[in-house]
């Protein structure tokens, strides 16, 4: 007998294997990101039919051999709404892609499953896809220890002032400086407001973040600049995520 485990999970990716089998990348509550094999997944007669949908919240019965084999799936929540909302479907895909890029297999950082479940759940009932995607990413990178809040200048160590309108990012040093320390270097000037939003997204509950009204795309572009320059993950790795590249050219569908 092999040990069997019960856990909740979210399907992030599917890959056909041999004639009828399927590999799925699942983020599970108990084991974090794992890759599981579903045998005869495509057999219409078995009980997996219609249950293996991307982003669905599922209860899994898994047999743990040298690999994980799925014995049973119970769908807890199927987000059929993504079928009619291409934009949110793309953001759900972005959340899955980000997860697969920043979390190695068999790794289960504390609270990540809850963040993933919350993000996909809110995305399924809300049309603020872009905001949800950014809140998710900033919270995820913070949870993994890759980014942190920034409230003071990294040169003079003084807190940024209420009256400061801009802060300055030094791409060479991966630091953020106040206007008084910005000198004549080639720094990226960003609105202090964008940094405030960044800090807010790290610390406040998801729904509070969502209530923050961000009306201009520039704020999101600047959040992206902050995430890419002030993180402990190699910049190249973040930049390699296709979805991040696409965000630079993002235009809302209704504009």
Note whether 35 binds Zn ion by CB under 5 A. no
**200 burial level (CB within 10 Å; 0-12, 13-18, 19+):** middle
Interface residue with Zn ion, options 155, 212, 225, 233 (CB under 5 A): 155
- Per CB under 5 A, 179 contacts Zn ion: no
Residues paired with 32 in a beta bridge: 28
Instruction: Provide the 10 A C-beta neighbour count for residue 236.
Output: 7
Shortest spacing between CB 73 and Zn ion, in angstroms: 55
Burial of 26 (0-12, 13-18, 19+ CB in 10 A): buried
State which residue, 11 or 169, has the beta carbon closest to Zn ion. 169
Cβ of residue 171: shortest distance to Zn ion, in angstroms? 17
Q: Can you tell me which of 70, 73, 116, 178 binds Zn ion, judged by CB under 5 A?
A: 178
Nearer to Zn ion, 182 or 196 (CB): 182
Q: Taking CB under 5 A as the rule, does residue 181 contact Zn ion? A: yes
| Residue closer to Zn ion, measured from CB, 170 or 222 | 170
| Residue whose C-beta lies closest to Zn ion | 153
Q: How many CB atoms lie within 10 A of CB 92?
A: 24
Q: Cβ 183 to Zn ion, closest distance in Å?
A: 10
Sort 166 into a burial class: Cβ within 10 Å, 0-12 / 13-18 / 19+: middle
Q: In a 10 Å sphere around its CB, with 0-12 CB exposed, 13-18 middle and 19+ buried, how is residue 239 labelled?
A: exposed
Return the range that interacts with Zn ion (CB under 5 A); candidates 73-81, 136-144, 179-187, 213-221: 179-187
The site that binds Zn ion (CB under 5 A) totals a number of residues, namely 5
State yes or no: residue 176 binds Zn ion (CB under 5 A). no
Query: Is 153 near Zn ion (CB under 5 A)?
Result: yes
Residue 117 burial (C-beta neighbours within 10 Å; 0-12, 13-18, 19+): middle
Contact call for residue 156 and Zn ion (CB under 5 A): yes
Shortest reach from residue 179's CB to Zn ion, in Å: 8
Q: Cα dihedral sign for 65, 54, 242, 239?
A: negative
Residue 161 interacts with Zn ion (CB under 5 A)? no
The smaller minimum CB distance to Zn ion, of residues 41 and 153, is found at: 153
Minimal distance, residue 149 CB to Zn ion, in Å? 17
Footprint of Zn ion (CB under 5 A): 153, 155-156, 178, 181
């Amino acid at each position: 007998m092999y040990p069997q485990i019960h856990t909740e999970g979210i399907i992030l990716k599917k890959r056909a294997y041999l004639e009828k089998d399927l590999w799925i990348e699942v983020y599970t509550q108990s084991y974090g990101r794992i890759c599981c094999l579903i045998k005869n997944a495509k057999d219409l007669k078995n009980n997996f039919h219609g249950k293996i949908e991307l982003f669905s919240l599922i209860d899994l019965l898994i047999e743990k051999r040298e690999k994980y084999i799925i014995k049973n799936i119970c769908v807890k929540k199927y987000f059929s709404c993504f079928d009619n909302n291409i934009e949110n479907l793309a953001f759900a895909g972005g959340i899955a892609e980000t997860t697969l890029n920043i979390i190695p297999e068999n790794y289960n950082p504390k609270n990540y499953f809850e963040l993933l479940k919350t993000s996909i759940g809110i995305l399924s009932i809300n049309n603020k896809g872009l905001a949800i995607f950014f809140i998710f990413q900033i919270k995820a990178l913070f949870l993994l220890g890759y980014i942190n809040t920034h409230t003071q200048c990294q040169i003079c160590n003084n807190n940024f002032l209420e009256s400061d309108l801009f802060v300055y990012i030094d791409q060479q040093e991966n630091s953020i400086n106040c206007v008084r320390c910005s000198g004549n270097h080639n720094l990226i000037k960003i609105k202090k407001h964008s940094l405030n939003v960044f800090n807010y997204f790290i610390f406040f509950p998801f729904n509070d973040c969502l209530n923050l009204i961000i009306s201009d795309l520039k704020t999101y572009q600047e959040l992206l600049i902050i995430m890419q320059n002030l993180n402990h993950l190699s910049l190249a790795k973040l930049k390699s995520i296709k979805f991040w590249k696409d965000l630079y050219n993002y235009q809302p569908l209704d504009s």
